[in-house]
Amino acid sequence: GAVVSQHPSRVICKSGTSVKIECRSLDFQATTMFWYRQFPKQSLMLMATSNEGSKATYEQGVEKDKFLINHASLTLSTLTVTSAHPEDSSFYICSARKGPNEQFFGPGTRLTVL
């Protein structure tokens, strides 16, 4: 199988603080991971592509200084939401690429910024 985990599953933080979300591929190595954001009743919007050992590639309109991505190993990518504000509240989902045509998704992290 191919299992991707995310931690934490839910986080509530105060405005102005930073939050780190971890994405792990548990039983395979992933040189490429993806971070998505999902708004209520909407589709997934790709935020960035995380590449092991190199800088992430951000989609147009995504602030790289606000959403810091680190892919330090073949099984772990982290997304840090810096100086979070209520408008950053969302469901964040990661995926890990296994093979040329497959992505396996994590269960998601619900971020609520008060």
Partner 1 sequence: GNSVTQMEGPVTLSEEAFLTINCTYTATGYPSLFWYVQYPGEGLQLLLKATKADDKGSNKGFEATYRKETTSFHLEKGSVQVSDSAVYFCALSGGGATNKLIFGTGTLLAVQP
Closer by beta carbon to partner 1, 66 or else 105: 105
> What are the DSSP calls for 34-90, one per residue?
EEEEE-TTS-EEEEEEEETTS--EEPTT--TTTEEEEEEETTEEEEEE-S--GGG-E
Select from 24, 104, 111, 113 the one that contacts partner 1 (CB under 8 A).
104
Closer by beta carbon to partner 1, 31 or else 70: 31
User: According to the binding rule CB under 8 A, does residue 57 interact with partner 1?
Assistant: yes
- Judged by CB under 8 A, the stretch of 13-21, 63-71, 81-89, 96-104 that binds partner 1 is 96-104
* Residue carrying the six token digits 């009743």: 41
